[in-house]
Amino acid sequence: MVKKEMDNKEILEKISDLCKPLTPEQREYLTENLTVYTFRKNEAIYSEGEFPTQLMCLLSGKVKIFKNGVSGRNQIIRVIKPVEYFAYRAYFAHQEFLTAAAAFEASTIAMIPMTTITKLVSSNNDLAWFFIKQLSVDLGIADERTVNLTQKHIRGRLAESILFLKESYGLEEDGCTLSIYLSREDLASLSNMTTSNAIRTLTNFASEKIIAIDGRKIKIISEDRLEKISKIG
C-alpha cells in the first residue's frame, strides 16, 4: 500500500454521489480527512478478523471481497468496481470484518475514517439515506447470489459468473472480451466450484462456441446462450 497524492477536485468528482448530499462545509471537512492509496496486484487491502476503521471507495482498478473457507479454499463474495464503496458495513454493525479484500489488479482506493463518516451522518439525514440505500442494494445482490450459487448446476453457476463479470467490469473495445482476466482459481471461487470443474466447464463452453478462451481472456461469442444456461441452472 502506497499513499498517493491526488487533486481534491479530482477526488470529489469521482465520489460525487457521496458528496452530493453534503454542504460545502461538510465537503471541505470530508476532503481534509480523505487519503488515497494505491495497491499492487494481489495485495491485501484488509483481512478477515480486523476491526474496520475506514470507508473505502475504489477509484480505479478491480477488487475482490472474499471469505476464507475450509482447507484454505476461498470463496469470492463480491467484486468491486469503480466507483463503489466497501469495507464500512462491519463498522456500522460493530463487528470485525467477516471477509477479506484484495486487489485483482493495481488499484487506487480513497479511504475516509469511519469517525468522519459517522460525524457527517449524524448531522445529515440525506447522507444517512445514501448509506441505507447502498446497504440495501448490496444485501439484495448478496441474497440473489447466495441462492444462485447454492442451487444452480455448475454450468449455470459459471455462465452466471461470466455474465456477472461482464455487468461489473464491462467489455474491451472489441465488444466481446471481458475486461477482467481472472485466474481459473478465482473464477472457480466466484462460481462456488472446484478449479477442475471450472476448467472443464470453460472448455465445454468453448467447444460449444459459447465463449472463446485465450489464456485468461474470455471472449463471449453467444451471450444469449450464456443467459439461457444461467437461467436454466
What pLDDT was estimated at residue 71? 65
Listed residues 77, 107, 141: the one ending a domain: 141
What pLDDT was estimated at residue 72? 67
State the Cα–Cα distance between residues 79 and 98, nearest whole angstrom.
15
Is 146 a member of any domain?
Answer: no
CATH of the domain at 81: 2.60.120.10
Count of domains for the chain: 2
Number of H helices, E strands in the chain: 10, 11
Identity at 175, one-letter amino acid code: G
Contacts of the segment 42-46: beta carbons below 8 A, 24+ positions apart = 42/102, 42/103, 42/104, 43/1, 43/102, 43/103, 44/100, 44/101, 44/102, 45/1, 45/87, 45/101, 45/102, 45/103, 45/109, 46/87, 46/97, 46/100, 46/101
What pLDDT was estimated at residue 143? 79
List the grid coordinates of 183.
Answer: 485466474
With H, G, I as helix, E, B as strand and everything else as coil, classify residue 102: strand
Judgement on whether residues 160 and 52 belong to the same structural domain of the protein = no
Judgement on whether residues 135 and 156 belong to the same structural domain of the protein = no
Judgement on whether residues 218 and 136 belong to the same structural domain of the protein = no
Element (H, E) at 62: none
Listed residues 106, 141, 176: the one ending a domain: 141
Listed residues 80, 106, 141: the one ending a domain: 141
Is 225 a member of any domain?
Answer: yes
Residue ranges making up the domain that contains 124: 2-141
Cβ neighbours of 108 (radius 10 Å): 19
Judgement on whether residues 40 and 83 belong to the same structural domain of the protein = yes
Residue 156 Cα distances to 46, 205, 209, 226, angstroms: 31, 11, 16, 8
With H, G, I as helix, E, B as strand and everything else as coil, classify residue 1: coil
Per residue in 175-196, pLDDT tens? 999 999 999 999 999 998 999 9
CATH of the domain at 162: 1.10.10.10
Place of cell 466466484: 190
User: What is the pTM for the complete model shown?
Assistant: 0.86
Per residue in 65-75, pLDDT tens? 999 876 667 88
Check whether the bond before 2 is cis (ω within 30° of 0). no
* Residue ranges of the chain whose pLDDT lies below 50: none
